[in-house]
Amino acid sequence: MKIGVFDSGVGGLSVANAIRQALPNDEVILREDRKHVPYGTRKPAEIFKFVVPIFQELIDSGCQVIVVACNTVTTTLITDLRQKFNVPLIAIEPMVKPAAELSKTHIIAVCATLTTLASPRYAQLKQDYAGSTTVIEPDCSDWAAMIEEERINREAIKRMVEQVLVAGADVIVLACTHYHWIEAEINRLAKGRAVILQPEQATITQLKRELARLG
Protein backbone atom coordinates (compact mmCIF):
# COMPACT_ATOMS: atom_id res chain seq x y z
CA MET A 1 0.00 0.00 0.00
CA LYS A 2 1.16 3.56 -0.71
CA ILE A 3 1.30 5.94 2.24
CA GLY A 4 1.74 9.67 1.73
CA VAL A 5 3.57 11.77 4.29
CA PHE A 6 3.47 15.55 4.17
CA ASP A 7 5.27 18.26 6.09
CA SER A 8 6.43 21.76 5.32
CA GLY A 9 10.06 20.72 5.60
CA VAL A 10 12.59 18.31 7.05
CA GLY A 11 10.38 17.33 10.00
CA GLY A 12 8.42 15.02 7.72
CA LEU A 13 11.53 12.98 6.97
CA SER A 14 11.78 11.92 10.60
CA VAL A 15 8.15 10.75 10.53
CA ALA A 16 8.56 9.04 7.15
CA ASN A 17 11.66 7.19 8.36
CA ALA A 18 9.80 5.95 11.44
CA ILE A 19 6.92 4.70 9.26
CA ARG A 20 9.28 2.97 6.84
CA GLN A 21 10.94 1.17 9.73
CA ALA A 22 7.59 0.09 11.21
CA LEU A 23 5.96 -0.83 7.89
CA PRO A 24 8.75 -2.07 5.60
CA ASN A 25 6.35 -3.74 3.16
CA ASP A 26 4.49 -0.52 2.37
CA GLU A 27 5.66 2.30 0.11
CA VAL A 28 6.06 5.68 1.76
CA ILE A 29 6.00 8.78 -0.43
CA LEU A 30 7.25 11.93 1.29
CA ARG A 31 6.40 15.40 0.06
CA GLU A 32 7.75 18.61 1.58
CA ASP A 33 7.09 22.26 0.83
CA ARG A 34 10.60 23.63 1.15
CA LYS A 35 9.61 26.61 -1.01
CA HIS A 36 7.35 28.01 1.70
CA VAL A 37 8.90 26.63 4.90
CA PRO A 38 8.47 27.50 7.72
CA TYR A 39 4.68 27.44 8.04
CA GLY A 40 4.68 28.43 11.70
CA THR A 41 4.39 32.18 11.10
CA ARG A 42 1.99 32.02 8.13
CA LYS A 43 -1.79 32.46 8.09
CA PRO A 44 -3.98 29.33 7.67
CA ALA A 45 -5.58 30.55 4.41
CA GLU A 46 -2.13 30.96 2.87
CA ILE A 47 -1.04 27.51 4.06
CA PHE A 48 -4.20 25.93 2.63
CA LYS A 49 -3.29 27.18 -0.85
CA PHE A 50 0.16 25.63 -0.51
CA VAL A 51 -0.92 22.18 0.69
CA VAL A 52 -3.95 21.43 -1.51
CA PRO A 53 -1.96 20.77 -4.72
CA ILE A 54 0.60 18.70 -2.79
CA PHE A 55 -2.10 16.50 -1.25
CA GLN A 56 -3.68 16.11 -4.68
CA GLU A 57 -0.31 15.04 -6.10
CA LEU A 58 0.02 12.37 -3.39
CA ILE A 59 -3.45 11.05 -4.17
CA ASP A 60 -2.72 11.08 -7.92
CA SER A 61 0.43 9.07 -7.13
CA GLY A 62 -1.76 6.32 -5.64
CA CYS A 63 -1.53 7.12 -1.93
CA GLN A 64 -4.51 5.61 -0.11
CA VAL A 65 -3.79 7.42 3.15
CA ILE A 66 -1.88 10.60 3.99
CA VAL A 67 -0.05 11.31 7.23
CA VAL A 68 -0.17 15.03 7.93
CA ALA A 69 3.18 15.34 9.69
CA CYS A 70 2.76 19.01 10.51
CA ASN A 71 1.17 20.22 13.73
CA THR A 72 0.58 23.65 12.20
CA VAL A 73 -1.43 22.22 9.30
CA THR A 74 -3.37 19.85 11.55
CA THR A 75 -4.33 22.39 14.19
CA THR A 76 -5.46 24.99 11.65
CA LEU A 77 -6.71 23.13 8.58
CA ILE A 78 -7.44 19.42 9.16
CA THR A 79 -11.24 19.82 9.05
CA ASP A 80 -11.08 21.74 5.76
CA LEU A 81 -8.65 19.21 4.28
CA ARG A 82 -10.82 16.25 5.27
CA GLN A 83 -13.75 17.91 3.53
CA LYS A 84 -11.62 18.56 0.46
CA PHE A 85 -10.08 15.10 0.01
CA ASN A 86 -11.70 11.68 0.04
CA VAL A 87 -8.79 9.74 1.56
CA PRO A 88 -8.05 9.15 5.25
CA LEU A 89 -5.81 11.81 6.78
CA ILE A 90 -3.78 10.76 9.83
CA ALA A 91 -3.26 13.98 11.74
CA ILE A 92 -0.35 14.79 14.04
CA GLU A 93 -1.26 17.28 16.74
CA PRO A 94 0.19 18.45 20.09
CA MET A 95 0.22 15.65 22.68
CA VAL A 96 -1.50 17.68 25.38
CA LYS A 97 -3.69 14.84 26.64
CA PRO A 98 -0.95 12.24 27.28
CA ALA A 99 1.33 14.94 28.70
CA ALA A 100 -1.30 16.09 31.20
CA GLU A 101 -2.03 12.49 32.17
CA LEU A 102 1.67 11.72 32.64
CA SER A 103 2.65 14.82 34.59
CA LYS A 104 3.07 14.45 38.34
CA THR A 105 3.70 18.16 38.92
CA HIS A 106 0.67 19.15 36.81
CA ILE A 107 2.97 21.42 34.82
CA ILE A 108 3.85 20.67 31.20
CA ALA A 109 5.72 22.52 28.45
CA VAL A 110 4.52 22.58 24.84
CA CYS A 111 7.12 23.51 22.22
CA ALA A 112 5.24 24.60 19.10
CA THR A 113 5.06 27.19 16.34
CA LEU A 114 3.25 30.48 16.84
CA THR A 115 0.48 29.45 14.44
CA THR A 116 -0.11 26.18 16.29
CA LEU A 117 -0.22 27.97 19.65
CA ALA A 118 -2.75 30.47 18.29
CA SER A 119 -5.03 27.84 16.72
CA PRO A 120 -8.54 27.03 17.99
CA ARG A 121 -7.71 23.31 17.94
CA TYR A 122 -4.79 23.77 20.33
CA ALA A 123 -6.96 25.88 22.61
CA GLN A 124 -9.55 23.09 22.56
CA LEU A 125 -6.94 20.48 23.46
CA LYS A 126 -5.90 22.51 26.48
CA GLN A 127 -9.48 23.07 27.52
CA ASP A 128 -10.44 19.41 27.15
CA TYR A 129 -7.36 17.76 28.65
CA ALA A 130 -5.30 20.28 30.62
CA GLY A 131 -7.90 22.11 32.67
CA SER A 132 -6.06 21.42 35.91
CA THR A 133 -2.59 21.54 34.35
CA THR A 134 -0.31 24.56 33.92
CA VAL A 135 0.85 24.70 30.29
CA ILE A 136 4.11 26.53 29.62
CA GLU A 137 4.66 27.65 26.02
CA PRO A 138 8.32 28.63 25.57
CA ASP A 139 9.37 30.79 22.65
CA CYS A 140 10.40 28.35 19.90
CA SER A 141 9.38 30.70 17.08
CA ASP A 142 12.66 30.41 15.18
CA TRP A 143 13.36 26.73 15.82
CA ALA A 144 11.85 25.35 12.60
CA ALA A 145 14.01 27.69 10.52
CA MET A 146 17.03 26.89 12.72
CA ILE A 147 16.60 23.16 12.09
CA GLU A 148 15.71 23.55 8.42
CA GLU A 149 18.87 25.57 7.83
CA GLU A 150 21.03 23.27 10.01
CA ARG A 151 22.22 26.07 12.28
CA ILE A 152 21.44 24.42 15.62
CA ASN A 153 21.72 26.85 18.56
CA ARG A 154 22.45 24.56 21.48
CA GLU A 155 22.56 27.45 23.94
CA ALA A 156 19.01 28.47 22.97
CA ILE A 157 17.83 24.89 23.40
CA LYS A 158 19.55 24.68 26.78
CA ARG A 159 17.94 27.94 27.93
CA MET A 160 14.49 26.67 26.97
CA VAL A 161 14.94 23.36 28.78
CA GLU A 162 16.26 25.01 31.92
CA GLN A 163 13.46 27.60 31.81
CA VAL A 164 10.66 25.02 31.79
CA LEU A 165 12.37 22.74 34.30
CA VAL A 166 12.84 25.59 36.77
CA ALA A 167 9.13 26.39 36.29
CA GLY A 168 8.30 22.84 37.36
CA ALA A 169 7.50 21.11 34.08
CA ASP A 170 8.11 17.36 34.18
CA VAL A 171 6.84 16.69 30.63
CA ILE A 172 8.01 18.48 27.48
CA VAL A 173 5.89 18.08 24.35
CA LEU A 174 7.54 18.45 20.94
CA ALA A 175 4.60 19.84 18.96
CA CYS A 176 6.43 20.46 15.70
CA THR A 177 7.96 17.59 13.74
CA HIS A 178 11.02 19.71 12.96
CA TYR A 179 11.88 19.44 16.65
CA HIS A 180 12.23 15.66 16.38
CA TRP A 181 15.70 16.32 14.97
CA ILE A 182 16.80 17.89 18.26
CA GLU A 183 14.95 15.41 20.48
CA ALA A 184 18.18 13.71 21.54
CA GLU A 185 19.65 17.05 22.63
CA ILE A 186 16.53 17.94 24.64
CA ASN A 187 16.48 14.46 26.18
CA ARG A 188 20.12 14.84 27.20
CA LEU A 189 19.48 18.20 28.85
CA ALA A 190 16.30 17.07 30.63
CA LYS A 191 17.45 13.55 31.54
CA GLY A 192 16.00 12.40 34.84
CA ARG A 193 14.04 15.63 35.24
CA ALA A 194 11.41 15.58 32.49
CA VAL A 195 9.89 13.17 29.97
CA ILE A 196 9.98 14.19 26.30
CA LEU A 197 6.91 13.35 24.21
CA GLN A 198 6.68 13.32 20.42
CA PRO A 199 3.99 11.63 18.33
CA GLU A 200 5.73 9.28 15.90
CA GLN A 201 4.85 6.00 17.62
CA ALA A 202 1.28 7.07 18.37
CA THR A 203 0.92 8.11 14.73
CA ILE A 204 2.18 4.73 13.54
CA THR A 205 -0.32 2.94 15.79
CA GLN A 206 -3.15 5.03 14.34
CA LEU A 207 -1.85 4.47 10.81
CA LYS A 208 -1.77 0.69 11.30
CA ARG A 209 -5.41 0.76 12.42
CA GLU A 210 -6.37 2.72 9.32
CA LEU A 211 -4.44 0.42 6.99
CA ALA A 212 -6.15 -2.62 8.55
CA ARG A 213 -9.51 -0.96 7.97
CA LEU A 214 -8.65 -0.22 4.35
CA GLY A 215 -7.59 -3.85 3.89
Q: What are the structural domains, with CATH classification, of the chain?
A: 2-93+200-214 (3.40.50.1860), 96-197 (3.40.50.1860)
pTM of the model: 0.94
Of 63, 111, 140, 176, the active-site residue reads 176
- Strands 2-7 and 171-174, by their bridges, are unpaired
Taking only the tens of pLDDT, the chain with its 215 residues reads 999 999 999 999 999 999 999 999 999 999 999 999 999 889 999 999 999 999 999 999 999 999 999 999 999 999 999 999 999 999 999 999 999 999 999 999 999 999 999 999 999 999 999 999 999 999 998 999 899 999 999 999 999 999 999 999 999 999 999 999 999 999 999 999 999 999 999 999 999 999 999 98
What is the structure's pLDDT at 209? 97
Q: 172 pairs with which residues across the strands?
A: 109, 196
* Inter-helix orientation angle 120-129/71-84, to 10°: 110
Contacts of residue 25, Cβ cutoff 8 Å, sequence gap at least 6: none
What is the structure's pLDDT at 72? 96
> Does residue 70 carry a catalytic annotation?
yes
Of 63, 70, 111, 140, the active-site residue reads 70
> Does residue 176 carry a catalytic annotation?
yes
What is the structure's pLDDT at 215? 83
Alpha-carbon torsion (88, 94, 97, 101), positive or negative: positive
